[in-house]
Amino acid sequence: MTEAPICTADLYDLHHHGLRVCELQFRSFGRAHGFFGPCLTVTTFEDHTPVLRALEGDGAGRVLVVDGQGSMRVGLMGDRRAGIGQRNGWRGVVINGVIRDSAGIDGLDLGVRALGTTARRGWVPGPAGQGGPVTFGGVTFVPGDWVYADRDCVIVAAEALPLDRPQQLTAAAPDP
């Protein structure tokens, strides 16, 4: 990724009135430490196949938001699926659940936020959906919302934010 890095704290200071801040504490994976784009949503429970189906589609610079219902038992994405997403133009993946093969994902130019890792994969198909609103961490993600993520946080806006430079923050608000 050749984009300028983003800082969610700076974006919050400049645009706090129109942002939703996800309260989950994600771990950061992949070489893209900051990423952003409009989102597509997927819901699933301990079944990686809906994530694979989404990542096989054209990412077009989007962020895939996966509500895995917070399950820590089964990885919803591994390095092979993340590689498919990278090749298909996805900027990042935010997972309310866990991943597997984190060392392989760390070698990819893709940003990934997940609750943690496991070795376990799913073997049984489960209920799933794509394209509807999903809620976790005190935030509702609606397809088309803009997701911004860095090592600190995941934030959501109804539309694309102007990516102002940090020097413009001096007039925004003092650091508490």
pLDDT of residue 2: 44
pLDDT at site 3:
59
Q: Tell me, yes or no, whether 1 lies in a domain.
A: no
DSSP state of 144: T
Residue-level pLDDT at 102: 98
What pLDDT was estimated at residue 175? Answer: 52
Instruction: Measure the CA angle with vertex 32, ends 28 and 37; round to 5°.
Output: 100
Domain housing 90? 24-157
Backbone angles phi, psi at 140, to 5 degrees: -100, 125
Query: How far, in Å, CA of 174 to CA of 137, rounded?
Result: 26
Can you give the pTM of this predicted structure?
Answer: 0.91
> How many domains does the chain contain in total?
1
93 in a structural domain: yes
What pLDDT score was predicted for residue 169?
44
In a domain, residue 138? The reply is yes
> Which residues in the chain land under pLDDT 70?
1-4, 164-176
Considering the domain boundaries, does residue 52 fall inside one?
yes
Q: Is 28 within the bounds of a domain?
A: yes
Judged by phi (left if over 0) then psi (alpha if -120 to 50, else beta), residue 62 lies in beta
- Taking the C-alpha atoms of residue 62 and residue 151, their distance in angstroms, rounded to an integer, is 18
CATH code for the domain of 147 = 3.50.30.40
